[in-house]
Chains A and B, each alone.
Chain A
Amino acid sequence: SQTIHQWPATLVQPVGSPLSLECTVEGTSNPNLYWYRQAAGRGLQLLFYSVGIGQISSEVPQNLSASRPQDRQFILSSKKLLLSDSGFYLCAWNGVSGQIYGYTFGSGTRLTVV
């Protein structure tokens, strides 16, 4: 069966510090991968998606970047965090061997920038 792992679960970082959040999927190959941010009252906002290694599409301009160095690994990064980067970050995947409609989400990372 397929599983998605996301870490860390919580993170408190000072303004201006770098960020690296990692997501991996097991039990499938060539998944479509997504990074979402969830802010209170604003719902889920798609940040990046990837349909293959090295292929990244950005949905909104922002202080963040994403990379996909391996088939089942998706990384969200920032060189210098802003207060506005605080939120709940969710990785998700879909593919022919998993959820054919919609996504399967990871357990999320709650980021607080102080």
Chain B
Amino acid sequence: QKEVEQDPGPLSVPEGAIVSLNCTYSNSAFQYFMWYRQYSRKGPELLMYTYSSGNKEDGRFTAQVDKSSKYISLFIRDSQPSDSATYLCAMGRGNSGGYQKVTFGTGTKLQVIP
């Protein structure tokens, strides 16, 4: 069993839709949880991170973590064509600012159709 499981998609939605992206994990040692966005042929960029169960909002994005179920989600409200990208969930261990071991999901490809 992989430490992190993520549906690869692709996921195609109309502009303005609410998008839900999800990952499950098996390792209880993960301390913090992240979502990266990766445009084609570019490096991933960090969208959001959280280290506790519950919701965290940033504009149109909401990250949700349920540690008891080992399940994390990213919701995108009012999706835009510019949101079309691959979204990677990631989970990490280690000291803030120090060496960190991060395990990534395989990514979900999202296409938002105008």
Contact = CB atoms under 8 A, between A and B. Distances in A.
A100 B43 CA distance: 18
Interface residues of B, number: 27
Nearest to B43: A105
B45 A102 contact: no
A2 B101 CA distance: 21
Interface in B88-114: 88, 90, 92, 96-102, 104-107
Interface string A8-50: 0000000000000000000000001000000001111010010
B43 A107 contact: yes
Interface stretch (A65-73, A79-87, A89-97): A89-97
B5 to A, nearest CB: 10
Given A43-B106, A105-B45, 14 more contacts: A32-B98, A43-B88, A92-B43, A97-B97, A101-B34, A101-B96, A101-B100, A102-B36, A103-B100, A104-B46, A106-B43, A107-B42, A108-B43, A110-B41
Interface of B: 4, 8, 32, 34, 36, 41-46, 49, 51, 88, 90, 92, 96-102, 104-107
25 contacts: A32-B100, A41-B8, A42-B106, A43-B4, A43-B105, A44-B88, A44-B104, A90-B43, A94-B97, A96-B97, A96-B98, A97-B97, A99-B46, A101-B34, A101-B92, A101-B100, A102-B36, A102-B49, A102-B102, A103-B46, A103-B100, A104-B46, A105-B45, A107-B42, A108-B43
